[in-house]
Amino acid sequence: MENKFNFIKVAAACPITNVADIEFNVKNIKECINESLEKNCKLIVLPELCITSYTCADIFGQEKLLNESEKALENICNFSKDKDILIAIGSTLTYNYCLYNCAYIIFNGKILGIIPKSYIPNYTEFYEKRWFTEGIGIIDKSISLEFQKDIPFGTNLIFSCNNVKFGFEICEDLWATIPPSSYLALQGANIIGNLSASNEVVSKAKYRKSLVESQSARCTSAYIYASSGVFESSTDLVFSGHLLIGENGTLLKENNRFQRENEIITSLIDVNKLNNERLKNISFRDSIKINNIAPKEIYFSFKDLNFGKFDRFIDKHPFVPSNEDEREIRCKEIFNIQTAALAKRYNHTGMKKAVVGISGGLDSTLALLVIAKTFYKLNIPRENIITVTMPGFGTTDRTYNNAVNLCKKLRTELREINIVDACLQHFKDINHPVEKLDATYENVQARERTQILMDIANKESALLIGTGDLSELALGWCTYNGDHMSMYGVNCSIPKTLVRYLVKYVAQKEVDQETSDILLDILDTPVSPELLPKDKHGKIAQKTEDIIGPYELHDFFLYYFIRQGASPERILFLAKQAFENDYDQETIKKWLDKFINRFFSQQFKRSAIPDGPKVGTISLSPRGDWRMPSDASNRLWKNK
């Protein structure tokens, strides 16, 4: 597939090796390289000292082994000619009467650079200093081999191709207090390779995995880890061939360890995502200032960056964890954040009452559940929660009954105020025909409801709690100074796709069966503001997603637009991958255009939203995450 959006496919490989059997080892290394090429990989990371094997011990002092290792490197260089892949391979190097454990970076018949292992382990089961010298502090050196002269040698080498920059470290370097990869990242490397030989003991694999995840997060980079396999010497240790590919704290791929054949794992790396994260992260930029080691940048060029089939998983619901256990933990945490935020507001104001409009829809239901939990924590009786249902022209029996029944089950003070007569009077006052079902018709109802709620809150010395969610704010799907306004908004940074799971979490974990049944029916009700009259069967006639598009698409667009600063073209590409079985390209593009138009045109509403807690990675608060002019042009973002 043509690479328009800066993805690059990488591989971590573990070839079969025999201890000190260089010819055998090279044969299997070549097989791994060829397999990686077949899978359109542009980088392959092989294990530490894989040309000789890691466990040669005192054989590393043998002239024959060292000489044959250099010949093997020449062999692999020749093999790599006209092969469009960067190869990171482990072998020995003799320099200034010292032996170094090194990563050789090979491309198209040439060694681009050699990186020595910075930290040499010499504790518990490791005795590497018996043979090798640490490479820490070696920078800007140049060495020559029999077949190639003036090869850059040092720990500060960066290998650059366009906006992809590769850096490498070796095994123990990752375990160091400040891994060399931290400096490499500050010097520009966004893809880090680790050539490793890490033996297995109980629980070490779990710790190793956490190191890869955390280092990729700290470095805002991809991290490709390849370790030696089961055919290393088992005299005292066992190796498993652990292969890992991480990206900015997330593990993309991991193999099943202890395989007995050549093995590679591959993954697409999203370089644009990494670069954008670095651009936004002030701490990363500030850290660059403390790095006083200048990188030596080595330039090369791939023939192309086509990656074949797009096989990277793109989650269609990026705000919602796909794992059920993780999702439950996330929902519980968000619910706690919401209640803690609201409790603080009550501590500050000294108030003991809340007012909330209840429609029988998802958002007002979640807001009510948050208020109820908050009052429980503050030992305030639920009778102090004033729930107001305000039937209008479009209110259906289903939503009305769910709202009333939920309030009764939660033992709140329930008030019913029908807004029809007030709205009819207002239509008359402003000379608006009642049969004209336009925005004015709808907004009159939303503002009437907000006026009632505000005035009750004043009368009762209560806080009016807002119900609007993040998706509605992104689209401006709220009435300015109507449901747009409150005294505190508990849902303001929760997207619609996540609201559903939060209500479902409460239904399953926090309430009795009767209350749960009500909540589950609310979940099954179409999303609607119910501002237009019911149909002839008394059902909801105005379905939000029929008008503005599916919320699952809009939440997807929002995530990539805000979190990654992605262009509409890139968002469309990713959405096609995520929703390939749900929507065709024309449909996705239609709603993406709608999202861009509404996001820009409705910023004035977000510039004036009430306080509310940030619960996830994205918030549109004008006081925090998102500060945008209300009159910015969207011309650049319109899909051509």
Is residue 423 part of the annotated active site? The answer reads no
Residue 198 lies in a domain: yes
Catalytic residue selected from 171, 331, 407, 423? 171
| 282-323 residue pLDDT tens | 888 788 777 777 889 999 999 988 888 898 999 999 999 988
CATH of residue 97's domain is: 3.60.110.10
Residue 572 lies in a domain: no
- Do both 100 and 171 map to the same domain? yes
The predicted pLDDT at position 287 comes to: 80
Which of 8, 577, 478 has its CA nearest to residue 245?
A: 8
Which of 392, 445, 433, 382 has its CA nearest to residue 416?
A: 392
Residue 638 lies in a domain: no
Which of 447, 443, 440, 528 has its CA nearest to residue 482?
A: 447
Known binding site: residues?
Answer: 123, 198, 204, 357-364, 443, 467, 472, 477-480, 605
What does the block give as tokens for 381? 């009786």
- Do both 283 and 415 map to the same domain? no
Residue 194 lies in a domain: yes
The predicted pLDDT at position 546 comes to: 82
pTM (two decimals): 0.90
The predicted pLDDT at position 537 comes to: 66
The predicted pLDDT at position 280 comes to: 85
Catalytic residue selected from 14, 68, 77, 117? 117
| 516-542 residue pLDDT tens | 999 999 999 877 666 677 676 666 666
Is residue 48 part of the annotated active site? The answer reads yes
The predicted pLDDT at position 394 comes to: 82
Residue 590 lies in a domain: no
The predicted pLDDT at position 531 comes to: 60
The predicted pLDDT at position 542 comes to: 64
The predicted pLDDT at position 536 comes to: 66
According to DSSP, residue 162 is labeled T
Residue 554 lies in a domain: no
Known binding site for ATP: residues?
Answer: 357-364, 467
Q: Which domain does 293 fall in, by range?
A: 9-299
- Do both 395 and 273 map to the same domain? no
What does the block give as tokens for 346? 């009550």
Helix (H) or strand (E) holding 247: strand 243-247
The predicted pLDDT at position 162 comes to: 82
Residues of the chain predicted below pLDDT 70:
1-3, 528-531, 534, 536-542, 639-640
- Do both 474 and 524 map to the same domain? yes
Residue 555 lies in a domain: no
Known binding site for deamido-NAD(+): residues?
Answer: 443, 472, 477-480, 605
- Do both 269 and 332 map to the same domain? no
Residue 632 lies in a domain: no
- Do both 226 and 338 map to the same domain? no
The predicted pLDDT at position 37 comes to: 97
- Do both 293 and 330 map to the same domain? no
Those residues whose C-beta lies under 8 Å from the C-beta of residue 39, and which sit 6 or more positions away, are: 9, 11, 264, 266, 308
Catalytic residue selected from 9, 48, 102, 442? 48
CATH of residue 478's domain is: 3.40.50.620
Q: What is the 3-state secondary structure (H, E, C) of 53-79?
A: CHHHHHHHHCHHHHHHHHHHHHHHHHH
Is residue 171 part of the annotated active site? The answer reads yes
The predicted pLDDT at position 533 comes to: 74
The predicted pLDDT at position 290 comes to: 75
- Do both 398 and 524 map to the same domain? yes
The predicted pLDDT at position 308 comes to: 87
Q: Based on the structure, what is the number of domains in the chain? A: 2
Rounded Cα–Cα distance for residues 541 and 27 (Å): 69
